[in-house]
Amino acid sequence: MKTNLPLDADRLWTDVMALADITDPAKPYTRRSFTALFLEGRAWLAQRFAEAGLATRLDAAGNLIGRIEGNDPALGVIAIGSHSDTVPSGGRFDGIAGVATGLEIVRALRDSGTRLDHTIEIVDFLAEEPSEYGLSCVGSRGMTGSLDETMLALTEPSGETLRDALRRVGGDPDRLDRARRDDIRAFLELHIEQGIVLESRFLDVGVVTSIVGIRRLEIVFQGEADHAGTTPMNLRHDALVAAADTVIAVRRLAEQLAAEGPDYFVATVGILAVDPSASNIVPGRCRLVIDARTTNPALTARFVDAIDRDSAAHAAAARVARASFKTLSDGPPVACDPKLREALQQGARDLGLGQMDLPSGAGHDAAFMSRICPSAMVFVPCLKGKSHAPEEWADRDAIAAGAAVIYQAVKELDRSLPRSR
Ligand code: HGY
Ligand code: MN
Ligand code: MN
């Protein structure tokens, strides 16, 4: 691991740990998007941005953006960012390390007396994790013109719409056109790998080749709540039985598609809500959400068709209705930009860091940013590949090394990006 990096590893680490401390104390580490805790984290970040000399604003899509003008504003923006929201009982590094990296790079440029020709922006994207409204990457969808009325009408369990929630956290759902950008020339994101490859190969950084496509489906089974003690088995309309059979079908089909190769395929049922959820009531209603990911959209189509067919059959067998079968979100797989990847690879070489190319099985804001500008990512190792859990861990020096690679690439891109549009 290198020590003479062109930025301050301790300052970067201090930011990551300070943001991590803004969590639900009963469920470390939880800072769910749109909550008071999230807004507390946002306020902390905005303060750090201002102290670093960044002009700070919220855009209409609810993204927190810090900006330092370049020597030649006509050249456009080089952006660095990630997200500060977490999954429930998540980790301290997923997203946060990427936002803190942007902040540290701005400070390191200032400390070295370097003013770029391009304007630089640091972005904390709103709600990268799947929110209570059922949608992920809300802010990066908004910045790229991918946040539509159907999505804004999604609601969380108590009924608030995403539209109202966006307004509540400072966005403007009626003026999302103002969030759309055409002046960003490059977007870079640091993220923990959330996998075991870099650690197992004792490598310092991963330069991401592609980001997996993600489809999220919601299925609701509607049966009849009944007395668990007096309702004969042949008269039941048990919604959970249809849901349970569907969960098994998801697992079996995903294992089959993954085994076919060569494409990557995984599917998960991470949400299973039983209603009324009491030990002595036959479940009347069951809602499940499926998260399916692949590098090959043709496999998604096969998976969805099969689960559509199977879940209807399981509903009929359990004598319940399949009340809804809908797509909550559907993002295609994305290739990272070759020129930006080369700048990152060169940065790692210049710093004497061990590196490899590798794909991302996790979704990221960079996948949406690639719709409006060249985008690329650097992964840093995390302990045992663990993520989306409190045990998530990344070493101080590992994060600093990844940040230094982006720092090097930003300076290179400032020189080499096309100057005419
Ligand atoms: O779910 C994901 O892949 C990311 O961590 N939001
Ligand atoms: Mn995550
Ligand atoms: Mn993340």
Kindly state the average pLDDT of the residues 4-17: 94
Q: How confident is the model at residue 127 (pLDDT cuts 50, 70, 90)?
A: very high
Measure the N-to-C terminal CA separation of the chain; round to a whole number of Å: 40
CB of residue 363 inside a 6 A radius of ligand 1:
yes
Quote the CA–CA distance of 73 and 53 in Å, as a whole number. Answer: 17
Q: What is the pLDDT of residue 2?
A: 55
Q: What is the pLDDT of residue 6?
A: 87
**101 near 59, Cβ under 8 Å?**
no
Taking alpha carbons only, the member of 272, 262, 270 closest to residue 294 is: 262
What is the whole-number distance in angstroms between the Cα of residue 370 and the centre of ligand 3?
16
Measured by CA distance, the residue closest to atom 3 of ligand 1 is: 362
Ligand nearest to the CA of 389: 2
**336 near 209, Cβ under 8 Å?**
yes
Instruction: Please give the domain boundaries of the chain with CATH numbers for all domains.
Output: 9-212+333-416 (3.40.630.10), 214-331 (3.30.70.360)
Taking alpha carbons only, the member of 139, 189, 123 closest to residue 34 is: 139
CB of residue 85 inside a 6 A radius of ligand 1:
no
What percent of the chain has pLDDT above 70? Answer: 99
Q: What is the pLDDT of residue 250?
A: 98
Q: How confident is the model at residue 149 (pLDDT cuts 50, 70, 90)?
A: very high
User: Which secondary structure element, helix H or strand E, spans residue 272, and what is its range?
Assistant: strand 265-275
Residues with CB under 5 A from ligand 2 (ion): 94
Q: Which two tokens stand for residue 177?
A: 């056109």
Q: How confident is the model at residue 197 (pLDDT cuts 50, 70, 90)?
A: very high
- Give the helix ranges, DSSP H, for 271-394: 297-317, 338-350, 365-369
Q: What is the pTM of this model?
A: 0.93
CB of residue 128 inside a 6 A radius of ligand 1:
yes
pLDDT at 263 over 60: yes
pLDDT at 34 over 70: yes
Cα separations in angstroms, 175 against 34, 65, 148, 179, 196: 19, 17, 12, 8, 42
Which residue is listed with tokens 């802010």?
A: 139
Kindly state the average pLDDT of the residues 49-59: 98
pLDDT at 115 over 60: yes
State the average pLDDT for the chain: 97
Ligand nearest to the CA of 392: 2
Task: Render pLDDT for 222-237 as a digit per residue (tens, 0 to 9).
Answer: 999 999 999 999 999 9
